[in-house]
Amino acid sequence: MSNTYVAIMAGGIGSRFWPQSRTAKPKQFLDILNTGKTLIQMTYDRFLKIVPKENIYVVVNDDYEGLVKDQLPDLAEFQILKEPVRRNTAPCITYACDKIYARDKNATVIIAASDHLILEEEKFLAVINRCVDFVKDNTFLVTIGIKPTKPSTGYGYIQFEDDNSQDGFYKVKTFTEKPSLEIAKTFLKSGDFLWNSGMFVWKAKTLLRAVVKHLPEVAEAFREGNKHYDKPSETKFIQEAYSQCTNISVDYGVMEKAENVYTLSAQFGWSDIGSWDSLYEVYEHDYLGNAVAGENVRIYDSSNNMIMVPKEKLVVLQGLRDYCVIDTGDVLLVCERAKEQEIKQITLDLKVADLDRYL
């Protein structure tokens, strides 16, 4: 797959995973699954099975360049794409596809997040290969959909036209951001909605043409990129390009507007591990439903809790049900699992209170 490339997006700060995920070291650089590898290392190793290492790029905020180099030492300098500021996924993906296109005009690009969990790797790789084959000779933008197992309010949804299929790929009808529980239940019953995994496959030139059409200001910002990529002037060029880009997602800026968007329904044990509750779901549970990361945790009359504490710390729980208990040494978080979506607001409140040192 010499013309196939991977762009791993690793610039997020994982605010819903606070206090484990911090500004200085977000969740993609943590071993939160206790596997001995961080999430970004697991992602990189997964894609090494289908593309050569020189075809894997990582897009990351300037602040995390050192973490990427430490955790992925096989990456060459040209494979680390440094963003001067966060501008959401549209500029990030445009930068990656434009730089890869400058290297290879026939490139097919797989866009993936750095912090997702894939439990059934062989099935995942088979899906990726199907998508690569599908777009190879077509001008399609493919988004990988996950067959929903419950009415989740934490994921975006893709509605597809079930009477418009090509080799199992369905034309996308609508995108919906995180819905209310009632709407999510309606989506699940309808049978024509999938979770939006945030993973995409397309020819680099197909995506760039779509950006020109639907986000012309972003396309214009990167127009002269091929003159600067892999040269000393790239850093300054990217700083100027990002200063001209609006903060917009590729879903909203391109995918919702384009006519050539298709999706493939897939199941491969996927989770975006976007929150403590989603981590709870993939962790091993004791007979009372508690997910425990910590060596000295004593539990009495407590069930269905997500518990992550320092190994050396003695923690005793009594009479607690359906809670998150997260202890990082300098921060203790105790919150209801059902309300852990509010953690993002908590971090904003701490910033206002001038408690940035804990973020």
User: Domains in the chain, start-ordered, CATH in brackets?
Assistant: 4-271 (3.90.550.10), 276-358 (no CATH)
Q: Cβ(92)–Cβ(114) under 8 Å?
A: no
> Whose CA is closest to 203, among 264, 135, 258, 259?
135
Reported pTM = 0.92
Q: Cβ(88)–Cβ(251) under 8 Å?
A: no
Q: What share of the chain is helix, strand, coil (3-state, %, to 5)?
A: 35, 25, 35
Q: Rounded to a whole number, what is the distance in angstroms from the first to the last CA of the chain?
A: 41
Rounded CA-CA distance 137/205 in Å is: 12
Note down pLDDT in tens along the chain; length 359 residues.
689 999 999 988 888 889 999 999 999 999 988 889 999 999 999 999 999 999 999 999 999 999 999 999 999 999 999 999 999 999 999 999 999 999 999 999 999 999 999 999 999 999 999 999 999 888 999 999 999 888 887 788 888 887 777 888 999 888 888 878 888 888 888 888 888 899 999 999 999 999 999 999 999 999 999 999 999 999 999 999 999 999 999 999 999 999 999 999 999 999 888 888 889 988 999 999 999 999 999 999 999 999 999 989 999 999 999 999 999 999 999 999 988 778 889 999 999 999 999 99
Q: Cβ(329)–Cβ(294) under 8 Å?
A: no
Q: Cβ(115)–Cβ(272) under 8 Å?
A: yes
The owner of tokens 């995390």 is 64
For the record, the structure tokens of 199 come out as 């993973």
Report which secondary-structure segment, H or E, holds 103: helix 89-103
> Whose CA is closest to 148, among 113, 105, 191, 97?
191
DSSP state of 273: -
